[in-house]
């Protein structure tokens, strides 16, 4: 336990040290692929994104890779599906699958897509549309592996491919996530966790729209008036994220449990910030019922929402467990975001 605690605290120290350089000022709008910070899954969203220390099973693929090695009700494998209904007909879908491959090791595959839908092309001369249509989407695909180093200390990593597309233009890169989780013997299983997400390359838009022709000298006749050129687009960093979370089961009984979560997070385009959540669980012999509430971005005022809430259940069906969750993230100026999850544990 002491060795695991030292390892976890060392990792946390490295995370905070690496984040320190970005704490001085906000750099909102200076990274590519901001959809990577949306938060995937109703449970995590209802908890205000304070999920790094609570992530268990298949949906941990999107939060803390080490969590996929922590069984849920004794089940190490799982399937996870989630759907978000957002404003302006924007839709977010994600899928995750985890499979135990050894006595301790678990692998996972995941994918997520933010679909902006189909829109009309507008120009200066046709501000209401010129009859053409285009679409846009962001996607990420990942492969993960995790295992326990001791009975209560878990480590995991993920490699992922990220792509953004708008009409005929696209940008691609790769990144990695690393996560640690330590379940202690204190306070009913106090849990500490830390993660680094989206550590990777930069993204640069490319496609047919950067190709053009150029006349080197418009005042001179007879030269080559169609020299083929390529416009150079700027490279943008990914939203590198550093997180440290704590989960405390403040009340734990045979039939019910109250968990409190707190988390500090830092991205390279935002201030150091805090998220908080709570989860009440009522359990019977075969079914768990959950009620959740969360508050995210505590120290940032210029965001559209802070409060989120939701509920869920999972139940035993033969050798499987099946779960459903929903959440609502309240918005101040836009439509509330509604989320629903479906899970199978095996």
* pLDDT digit string, tens, across residues 324-341: 999 999 988 888 999 999
The answer to whether 317 touches 345, Cβ cutoff 8 Å, is: no
Give CA separation, 107 vs 40, 123, 178, 315, in Å. Answer: 19, 48, 14, 24
The pLDDT tens digits for 1-20 are 555 555 555 555 454 444 44
Architecture of domain 41-123+132-201+238-345: Beta Barrel (2.40)
Closest by Cα among 175, 191, 197, 163 to 267: 197
pLDDT per residue as tens digits for the range 231-252: 888 999 999 999 999 999 999 9
- pLDDT at residue number 144: 98
- The tens digit of pLDDT for each residue in 197-206 reads 999 999 999 9
Least confident of 5-9, 227-231, 275-279, 312-316: 5-9
| DSSP 8-state class, residue 125 | S
CA distances to 9, 14, 73, 151, 152 from 1, rounded to whole Å, are 12, 20, 23, 9, 8
Per-residue exposure over 76-93, b if at least 16 CB sit within 10 Å of its own CB, e if not: bbbbbbbebebeeeeebe
* pLDDT tens per residue across span 136-154: 999 999 999 999 999 999 9
Q: Does residue 172 register a pLDDT over 50?
A: yes
This prediction has a pTM of 0.86
Cα gap 54→63, rounded to integer Å: 9
- Report the pLDDT averaged over residues 293-312: 89
Q: Is the pLDDT of residue 313 over 80?
A: yes
């Amino acid at each position: 336990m002491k060795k695991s605690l030292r390892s976890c605290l060392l990792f946390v120290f490295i995370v905070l040290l690496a984040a320190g350089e970005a704490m001085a000022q906000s750099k909102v709008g200076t990274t590519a692929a901001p959809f990577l910070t949306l938060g995937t899954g109703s449970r995590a969203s209802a908890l205000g994104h304070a999920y790094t220390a609570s992530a268990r099973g298949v949906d941990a693929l999107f939060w803390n890779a080490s969590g996929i090695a922590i069984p849920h009700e004794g089940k190490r494998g799982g399937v996870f599906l989630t759907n978000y209904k957002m404003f302006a007909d924007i839709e977010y879908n994600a899928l995750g699958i985890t499979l135990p491959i050894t006595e301790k090791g678990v692998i996972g595959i995941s994918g997520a897509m933010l679909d902006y839908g189909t829109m009309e092309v507008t120009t200066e001369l046709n501000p209401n549309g010129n009859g053409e249509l285009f679409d846009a989407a962001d996607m990420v695909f990942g492969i993960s592996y995790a295992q326990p180093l001791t009975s209560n200390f878990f480590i995991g990593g993920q490699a992922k491919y990220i792509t953004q597309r708008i009409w005929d233009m696209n940008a691609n890169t790769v990144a990695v996530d690393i996560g640690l989780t330590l379940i202690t013997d204190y306070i009913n299983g106090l849990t500490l966790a830390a993660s680094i997400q989206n550590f990777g390359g930069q993204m640069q838009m490319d496609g047919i729209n950067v190709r053009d022709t150029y006349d080197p000298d418009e005042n001179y006749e007879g030269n080559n008036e169609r020299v083929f050129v390529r416009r150079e687009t700027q490279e943008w960093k990914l939203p590198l994220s550093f997180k440290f979370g704590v989960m405390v089961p403040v009340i734990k009984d045979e039939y019910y449990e109250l968990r409190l979560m707190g988390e500090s997070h830092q991205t390279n385009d935002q201030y150091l910030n805090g998220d908080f959540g709570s989860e009440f669980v009522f359990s019977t012999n075969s079914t768990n019922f959950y009620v959740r509430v969360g508050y995210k971005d505590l120290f940032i005022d210029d965001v559209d929402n802070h409060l989120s809430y939701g509920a869920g259940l999972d139940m035993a069906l033969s050798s499987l467990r099946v779960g459903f969750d929903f959440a609502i993230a309240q918005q101040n100026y836009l439509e509330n975001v509604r989320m629903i999850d479906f899970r199978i544990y095996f």
